[in-house]
Structure 1
Amino acid sequence: MGKQLVLAEKPSVAREIARVLGCNRRESGFIEGENYIVTWALGHLIELAPPGDYNPRWRKWTLTSLPMLPDQLTLKVMDSTKEQFATIESLLQRTDVSDLIIATDAGREGELVARWIIEKGGYSGAIKRLWISSQTEQAIKEGFANLKEGYLFEPLYEAAQARAYADWYVGMNVTRALTCRYDARLSSGRVQSPTLALITEREEEIEAFSGEFFWTLRGHFGPFSATYQGEDDSSKIRSEELAEKIASELEGQTGQIVAITREEKSEMPPLAYNLTELQRDANLELGFSAKETLDTLQQLYERHKIVTYPRSDSRYITQDIVPTLNSRLKALEATPFGLVSNLYIEGGYREDLERFVKESGVSDHHAIIPTEQTVDLSRLSAKEVALWQLVALRFMEVLSGDYHYESITIEVAVGPHRLLSHQTFPIRQGWRDMARLLKREGEGISEPLPPLVVGDSLKVERISRRRNATKAPERYSEGTLLSAMENAGRFVDDSDLRKNLSGGLGTSATRADIIEKLIQNYYIEREGNFLKPTPRGREVIRLAPDALCSPVLTAKWEERLGKIAEGEEEPQRFIDDIKEST
């Protein structure tokens, strides 16, 4: 039996796989051992050829050259990666190679990276697939012990390639049309354009906003305070004159408690992190950009091996991960979570079949959680520590009990006026206790109330007045934009199309790059923690076809790409339809 050739996506991943497989002879572009040869891509080594490669007439940017619809798109080795591709190509042709193991990222894009290399390299031998969610030694060993047949992932590759082809046909033609028609270098795309449209539409809402003032009154009764409620059950008073009139009728008067409602409530832990949710929280709490979060997370995954696969779109784990939870808790022993993690190992923890363990909620990869690798925080940078703590904190919260609290509402009548007080008193902190391990302050807790019963009389000691203003819609931050992209279905009226946008605009893996591309093209700019469109970006949306600025196009594509990935639609039919509509 010959040697198995392993193709990883990055050099760092390849080095770790080679170490685990016992490969120690380093050569230029690969590492060889007794039974394996491990080589690597550098992300994409292959791209779709540019228009000029199909027709010399298409090298010149003119409207008369449109549309550019080659019968068959071809692959081209990227200039910057020719040397590494030549290395892989020579390895694919070695007579002592018995089969190829694809070890690129386990997902649609990773499959495309590998398959284009295989196709361009002319390999036609046996193919196996390594499909793992973490880079620990144990995960790699288990993955190689349970390699999958390569043909099982051919529909996934076909879906990835169909999307790449469609993006070429639409992006190349629309970008050239806009640039030539308006004599300015403008670009547009299926995901980029609706994302930019979200930002420009929000800016238009802000500019069209006409605010107004309103007033609120709060009565202080000694042990508690309460807010004035109008006849419409609103606390807003539309004029200062009316607010002053009501205040004068309340001040110094004696009120009576007419109702006390007590209710015990609970709040379940949040769901585990997927990439988009982690990027949102990292932006909100740490000030990280989406790309900064992904890059830091990639280091925690590849270099330190203390978190699972970063580009996950799932917030759940599968049943086979449950037996590993104790080992993952054990790995936190030398961190601020160590005391509680040991208690959980000894005394048990929550295993919620609806909010954490959910087979139907996992496609390619489960939620982002700690691995079984022992954590040494001293080896991490400040950014890595901060982001890892978010992941670990959420993991511990998911395994913890509900937060229980008592909600008390007190209604006080002062003459014809009503005032309401809402009080919250924790009973059991549950999952909210986890944040205290990082010395984070919890939410404010109401002061204990004295014994109160319906009928008690209380004097209004004073009335505080506050002028407020209705707020304009807020610009998107990177965190809120990521959420809007992930939930783009809410911007689509058609219910069937909305279902096909369940994955949102772009993917967990690509959204950060889309935002960065919009910034690099000077279509949007950062202003503090917010994003605003530039005049150039607003002009692009004004000029681009309406269909390209709506999430509907992505919804239609994703429906069909999903069918291709499941083997339910022929990819060529999809491509033909894209070319016809272009």
Structure 2
Amino acid sequence: MKQLILAEKPSVARDLSQILGAREKHKNYFEGPQVVVTWALGHLLGLEMPEDLHKDWAQWQLTTLPMLPKKIGIKPLPKTRGQLKTIAALAKRKDVGEAVIATDAGREGELVARWILQYVRFNKPVKRLWISSQTQKAVKQGFNDLRPAKEYDNLYYSALARAKADWLVGLNVTRALTVKYDDNLSAGRVQTPTLAQVDQQAQKISQFKPRQYYVVSLEANGQTARRQQKDQFALPDQESAQKLVERLQQETGRVVKITHKDQSQGAPLPYDLTELQREANQAYGYSAKKTLSLVQSLYEIHKIVSYPRTDSKYLSSDLKATMAERLQAITAIVPEAKSYLKAGSKVVAQKVFNDQKVTDHHALIPTEQVPNYAKLSQDEHRIYTMIVQRFAGLFAQPYRTKQEKVTVAFGNEQFIFKHETVVESGWKTTSGSETATQEWQEGTKIAPKFRISAEQTTPPAPLNEGSLLAKMEKYGLGTPATRAEIIEKLVKTELMERTGKHLQVTPKGKQLLGLVNPALISPELTAKWEEQLEQISHGQYDSRKFLSEIEAETKKLVAEIKNSDKKYHDHSLTSKKCPKCGAALKERQTRDGKILVCTNPECDYHRRAEAKVTNHRCPQCHRKMLLVEGKNGTYFRCKYDGTTEKPTGGKKRSKKMTKHEEKRLLKKVNQDEEPAESALALALKKAMEK
């Protein structure tokens, strides 16, 4: 009998088929003597929508809210029926004796597979492949240690509870806001408190009032030390600082104390996903989504890093035996790895091995596979280097310094000079330049050489993706696997926007935060829910009780919106009128730029809000022309010399796409397209079409 192996993506299925000897290639699966390997396309199924459950829920009305179905079934997502049909046919084959879940080893991966097996009514034994890297060695070891799928039931219950909770809160609150205020307003149990974090930081900045203060410093032996003071604003003006200096100059300065202290700093632990996203944002400006995409590629395609969607920075004890092979794989990028191998591949930072702190997956580290650097993009190389350098630090000696602290007193006032000497650079590749200083001795008299400087308090910095991720992690908002998606969703729904390297809440987002119940804005409630979901995955909390609490909170949130007398102003409304029906036009942001759409639901008028730069060349100056939509229809215009041209004029340009243009457009769409659509995403899509 054969095993039916269900991978999450076609690329993973292809790799598994090669390792398992499934050489026979079909359109939607691979087959070998012992296995049949097929795949999902991310999620193939989703929870049923309100209109699937109750006819009264087909229309968006306040009177039908809250929607609290006793049971929410599953249904195929658009464009996935073909693959589902293939899996169903394979599942019913008489020569298939069992299934192996080989989707991502995490909460969402478990849900992907369970829903598929449930939908095709698979009634044969099911096993689970649980691996933390995609190398040939790891896959073979994983298949030698397949576990009964029943052992992962709690992980499935947690994923299902998360999906239903998002359905209940997201769909009900979004419908209530959209209908009440006649605009597409998206809210959710994780995205709304995340948005609030950005807004609260902006409020701190706007409320900030700079204060000036003065500092007195002492210069001696080629160093400078500030006066020690508990109150930062003890010297509020130049006059008080000058009086202090005049008084100090009457005193005799002496070295009253010299202390030496040896300090040792061990290497940082390996990355978890969130910290990697934070540091990649700081170092290279990568968005959380881009970093996740890059590290996912290193894991799935190149197979040179372990499972990326991890929230642990620790390693399990059984990985000790693999350290030498992993070091050997990175010698080309970390020269020190050769000396670590000669020393017996001994991990100096032994605290990294902690079985109790390893959750579903261990920290993000390199695999035993030697990279083909020629096949890595520059961005992939950067991320891989970050992961490798963190890993290599585990084998290096601590960073050791000797710190000298010299206290100089002028009467009751003290100045503390500090100097640090690097004894051993250890895991730090650069230790900085040493500055030569004179030796100090207790009792030495010090000349009164003072300096007054004016300083000013600075406002807190606006949040960027790195600092927002840190706050999300601190308050338990989302998981490492979902945080990037949440940030992108807030941007796509025009509640938040990127301004350079920073994030800011849009006027629409600010209003949304004022319209919802404070309970949904506070991170405490969401953090509690995420903690309970984690407990469900470990069999420590009942998913039915969790959903009961979610239903109660949903009722409260919807009632608050229904009974609210708050006002809302749609900032996307323009003063322009629809030429077809006279209704106001609304501005919408799309992948292809801003467009104007008619607010009349029965009118389909829309046009581009701003001219689009095209590849069509001006016949006079040969520069790229703009595509303009106006009263006279669509035409090309050159912004340099004013030349205009009809799309069908000039070189008789065909409106029909060339094969090259069609291929390029399809590639762009496929890149932009999300692998899966949640229930809330589908609901929002419907709302956007209104």
Q: Is 2:304 the counterpart of 1:306?
A: yes
1:560 shift after superposition: 3.5
> Which AA in structure 1 matches 2:88?
E
Amino acid at match of 2:517: P
More deviation, 356-365/85-94: 85-94
CA contact (8 A) 1:155 1:565 kept: yes
Superposed displacement of residue 581, structure 1: 3.8
Give the CA deviation at 1:62: 1.1
Whole-Å separation in 2 of the counterparts to 1:123 and 1:388: 40
Alignment of structure 1 residues 383-402 onto 2, 5 Å: 383-402=379-398
Query: What is the rounded CA distance, in whole Å, between the counterparts of 2:120 and 2:361 in structure 1?
Result: 29
**Counterpart of 1:28?**
27
Name the structure 2 match of 1:60: 59
Which AA in structure 1 matches 2:436?
P
Matched, 1:471 2:458: yes
Q: 1:297 aligns with which of 291, 295, 298?
A: 295
Structure 2 equivalent of residue 15 of structure 1: 14
Contact 1:331–1:373 (Cα < 8 Å) also in 2: yes
CA distance in 1 between counterparts of 2:240 and 2:345 reads 55
1:505 is aligned to: 477
Determine if contact 1:252/1:459 at 8 Å carries over to the other structure. no
**1:153: how far off?**
0.8
Match of 2:441 among 442, 453, 456: 453
Retained in 1: the 8 A contact 2:214–2:452? yes
My pick for the range that moved more, 556-565 or 541-550, is 556-565
Deviation, 1:233, is: 7.2
Q: What is aligned with 2:331?
A: 333
Query: Is contact 1:423-1:446 (8 Å) kept?
Result: no
Counterpart CA distance in 2 for 1:556 and 1:194 is 13
One-letter amino acid matched to 1:522: E
- How many Å apart are 1:255 and its aligned residue? 3.1
1:394 aligned counterpart, secondary structure:
helix
CA contact (8 A) 2:259 2:406 kept: yes
The structure showing larger relative contact order (alpha-carbon pairs under 8 Å, at least 6 residues apart) is 1
Which amino acid counterpart does residue 321 of structure 1 have in structure 2? L
Aligned counterpart for 2:341 among listed residues 341, 345, 363:
345
**Per-residue CA distance 1:526-567 (angstroms, 9 max, x = gap):** 122211111111111111112211223223323433343233
Give the residue type in structure 1 aligned to 2:343: G
The residue type equivalent to 1:115 in the other structure is R
Q: Is the 8 Å Cα contact of residues 513 and 521 (structure 2) preserved in structure 1?
A: yes
The one of 236, 241, 248 equivalent to 1:238 is: 236
| Secondary structure, aligned partner of 2:403 | strand
Supply the distance in 1 between the matched residues of 2:389 and 2:479 (Cα, whole angstroms).
Answer: 24
The equivalent residue for 1:492 is: none
- The DSSP-based 3-state class of the residue aligned with 1:7 is strand
SS at match of 1:218: strand
State the Cα deviation string for residues 326-381 of structure 1 (Å, max 9, x = none). 0000001222x1x3111111114553676310001111100000000012323211
Offset at residue 578 of structure 1 (A):
2.7
Alpha-carbon offset, residue 24 of structure 1 = 1.3
CA contact (8 A) 2:477 2:530 kept: no
Question: Which string of whole-angstrom CA distances, capped at 9 and with x for unpartnered residues, describes residues 436-494 of structure 1?
Answer: 5xxxxx4x44413322211122334x544432211222221111111111111xxxxxx
Partner of 1:111: 110
Describe the SS at the equivalent of 1:431. coil
Normalized per residue, the structure richer in helix is 1
The one-letter amino acid of 1:505's match is L
1:385 positional shift:
1.0
Deviation at 1:260, TM superposition (A): 1.2
Indicate the structure (1 or 2) with the bigger Cα radius of gyration: 2
Instruction: Supply the distance in 1 between the matched residues of 2:534 and 2:272 (Cα, whole angstroms).
Output: 20
CA contact (8 A) 1:424 1:445 kept: no
Name 1:369's counterpart in structure 2: 365
Q: What's the counterpart of residue 439 of structure 1?
A: none
- Output one character per residue of 1:400-426: Cα deviation in whole Å (capped at 9) or x when no partner: 221111111112234554222111111
Q: Which residue of 1 aligns with 2:409?
A: 413
After superposition, residues 140-539 of structure 1 pair within 5 angstroms as 140-230=139-229, 232=230, 237-248=235-246, 255-335=253-333, 337=334, 339-348=335-344, 351=347, 355-414=351-410, 417-433=413-429, 436=430, 442=431, 444-460=432-448, 462-488=449-475, 504-539=476-511
Quote the Cα distance in structure 2 between the aligned partners of 1:8 and 1:84: 12
Task: Give me the identity figure in percent.
Answer: 41
Query: Which secondary structure state, in structure 1, belongs to the residue aligned with residue 258 of structure 2?
Result: strand
Cα distance, 1:235 vs structure 2: 8.7
Q: Aligned equivalents of 2:411 and 2:47: distance in 1?
A: 77
Task: Name the SS for the 2:160 alignment partner.
Answer: helix
Greater mean deviation of Cα atoms: 419-428 or 187-196 = 419-428
Give deviations 1:97-117, integer Å, cap 9, x for gaps: 111000000011110010001
1:101 matches 2:100? yes
Q: How far off its partner does 1:263 sit?
A: 0.9
Report SS of the residue matched to 1:418.
strand
Partner residue of 2:623? none
Instruction: Check whether the contact 1:350–1:401 (CA below 8 A) recurs between aligned residues.
Output: no
Secondary structure in 1 matching 2:80: helix
Shift of 1:248: 4.9
1:146-188 alpha-carbon deviations (Å, 9 max, x no partner): 1111111112111111111121111111110111111111011
CA distance in 1, matches of 2:474, 2:348: 25
Residues 110 and 155 in structure 2, CA contact (< 8 A), matched pair in contact too:
yes
| Greater mean alpha carbon deviation, residues 106-115 or residues 522-531 | 522-531
- Asked whether the equivalents of residues 317 and 359 of structure 1 are also in contact (C-alpha less than 8 Å), the reply is yes
Greater mean deviation of Cα atoms: 508-517 or 562-571 = 562-571
Shift of 1:215: 1.9
**Residue 334 of structure 1 contacts residue 376 of structure 1 at CA under 8 Å; is this kept in 2?**
no
Deviation at 1:202, TM superposition (A): 1.4
* Whole-angstrom distance in 1 between the partners of 2:8 and 2:249: 72
Deviation at 1:262, TM superposition (A): 1.1
AA aligned opposite 2:79 = S
Could you say which residue in structure 2 is the equivalent of 1:493?
Answer: none
CA contact (8 A) 1:216 1:235 kept: no
Cα distance change of structure 1 residues 244 and 163 upon mapping to structure 2, 3 Å threshold = same
Q: Within 2, Cα distance between the matches of 1:233 and 1:543?
A: 41
Structure 1 residue 250: Cα displacement:
5.7
Partner of residue 69, structure 1: 68
Instruction: Single out whichever of 88-97 and 239-248 deviates more from structure 2.
Output: 239-248
- Compute the displacement of 1:252 (Å): 11
Query: In 2, Cα distance between the equivalents of 1:42 and 1:177?
Result: 32
Asked if 2 retains the 8 angstrom alpha-carbon contact of 1:9 and 1:41, the reply is yes
Letter of the 2:284 counterpart: L
Deviation of residue 237 (structure 1)? 2.9
Name the CA distance, whole Å, in 1 between partners of 2:455 and 2:9.
54
Unaligned 5+ runs, structure 1: 437-441, 489-503
Matching residue of 1:554: 526
- The structure-2 alpha-carbon separation of the partners of 1:254 and 1:382, relative to structure 1 and needing over 3 Å to count, comes to farther
User: Pairwise mapping of residues 79-98 of structure 1 onto structure 2 (< 5 A)?
Assistant: 79-98=78-97
Match of 1:4, SS state, is: strand
> Structure 2: which amino acid aligns with 1:549?
I
